[in-house]
């Protein structure tokens, strides 16, 4: 634990399931109400507001390096065009990833995972989602593991994916990394069935808002795993999340959820 004002801040992802008085509040792609998603300003703002951690997305570039970017294509959140993996890391880093959000963030660049780690406290919780379908599904695990090794960021980093092969590779090459398994009813079978769970051996299970149910939640806790869910599963009702012993939520409504947590506390 680390001191954060008068309250202790959780600094590890490996606490006992159901042990927290409130679910951790994780800012989805940073504080997206104040800054463009998946940028350093959004991550720093989330830290300043009091989020327990942030969630971000990493993809492989054409030259097989990591960049923090959500979409498969560049158009929505940058001045680039085409798939991310058709550009080199340097080419993606040259793009403007802030003007689409506000002129205030003109020339904000997509960061690397190294830059994110260097920009935030070493004990601040970060949930890294590996975005990959087929090509590079093993390589991305190696690149993420290499980055964590460089920063020795073992306890405060959770690496998640809906791709079980990537998570299986991650478990093989670096079992010290905490793993999260994401799934949704929208994913094709057999991904949505979690049939690959024995290979992944996840420390966290991360149901999307169409996939959560209390029976699975209890089963995961009994097996020693924790549960991170999107807040819409509970209609943003913090009291309901507490009664369910939910371990963490990922939210786009950071300030609202932090205020509800303060009110309930």
Q: What is the DSSP string of 57-90?
A: EEEE-TTS-EEE--SSBSTTTSS--SBGGGS-HH
Return the H-helix or E-strand segment holding 152.
none
Alpha-carbon Rg of the chain, whole angstroms? 18
* Residue 23 confidence (pLDDT): 97
Superfamily of domain 2-59+123-264: Phosphatidylinositol (PI) phosphodiesterase (3.20.20.190)
* Residue 41 confidence (pLDDT): 98
- Cα(38)–Cα(47) distance, rounded to whole angstroms? 14
* Residue 234 confidence (pLDDT): 81
* Residue 4 confidence (pLDDT): 42
Sites in the chain below the pLDDT cut of 70: 1-7, 185-195
The per-residue b/e assignment along 102-119, b for 16 or more CB within 10 angstroms, e otherwise, is eeebeebbbbbbebbbee
Q: What angle (nearest 5°) sits at the alpha carbon of residue 197, between those of residues 227 and 56?
A: 50
* Residue 48 confidence (pLDDT): 98
Nearest to 11 by CA among 157, 116, 206: 157
CA distances to 126, 230, 261 from 257, in Å? 18, 12, 6
Query: Tokens standing for 32?
Result: 């997206």
Q: Pairing state of beta strands 157-161 and 125-130? A: parallel
Contact 159, 153 (CB under 8 A): no
* Residue 5 confidence (pLDDT): 40
- Cα(111)–Cα(68) distance, rounded to whole angstroms? 6
Contact 146, 162 (CB under 8 A): no
- Kindly give, in sequence order, each residue whose CB lies less than 8 Å from that of residue 161, ignoring residues fewer than 6 positions away: 129, 130, 131, 132, 167, 180, 181, 182
What is the percentage of the chain residues whose pLDDT exceeds 90? 82
pTM comes to 0.94
Return the H-helix or E-strand segment holding 93.
helix 89-93
Catalytic residues: 28, 70
* Residue 194 confidence (pLDDT): 64
Tens-place pLDDT, residues 227-243? 999 877 787 889 999 99
CA distances to 7, 124, 174, 217, 257 from 19, in Å? 16, 19, 26, 14, 19
* Residue 150 confidence (pLDDT): 98
């Amino acid at each position: 634990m680390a001191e954060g004002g008068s309250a202790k801040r959780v600094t590890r992802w490996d606490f006992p399931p159901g042990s927290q008085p409130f679910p951790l509040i994780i800012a989805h792609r940073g504080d997206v109400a104040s800054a463009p998603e998946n940028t350093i300003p959004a991550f720093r703002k989330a830290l300043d507001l009091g989020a327990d951690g942030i969630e971000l997305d990493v993809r492989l570039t054409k030259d097989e390096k990591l960049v923090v970017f959500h979409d498969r294509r560049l158009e929505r959140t940058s001045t680039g065009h085409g798939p991310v993996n058709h550009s080199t890391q340097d080419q993606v880093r040259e793009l403007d990833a802030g003007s689409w959000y506000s002129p205030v963030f003109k020339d904000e660049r997509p960061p690397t995972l190294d830059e994110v780690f260097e920009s935030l406290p070493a004990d601040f919780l970060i949930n890294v989602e590996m975005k990959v379908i087929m090509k590079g599904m093993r390589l991305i695990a190696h690149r993420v593991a290499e980055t964590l090794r460089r920063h020795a960021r073992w306890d405060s980093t959770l690496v998640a994916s809906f791709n079980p092969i990537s998570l299986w590779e991650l478990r093989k090459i670096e079992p010290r990394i905490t793993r999260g398994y994401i799934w949704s009813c929208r994913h094709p079978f057999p991904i949505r069935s979690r049939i690959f769970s024995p290979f992944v051996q996840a420390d966290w299970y991360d149901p999307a808002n169409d996939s959560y149910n209390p029976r699975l939640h209890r089963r995961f806790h009994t097996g020693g795993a924790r549960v991170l869910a999107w807040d819409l599963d509970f209609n943003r009702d913090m009291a309901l999340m507490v009664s369910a012993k939910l371990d963490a939520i990922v939210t786009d409504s950071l300030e609202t959820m932090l205020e509800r947590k303060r009110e309930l506390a």
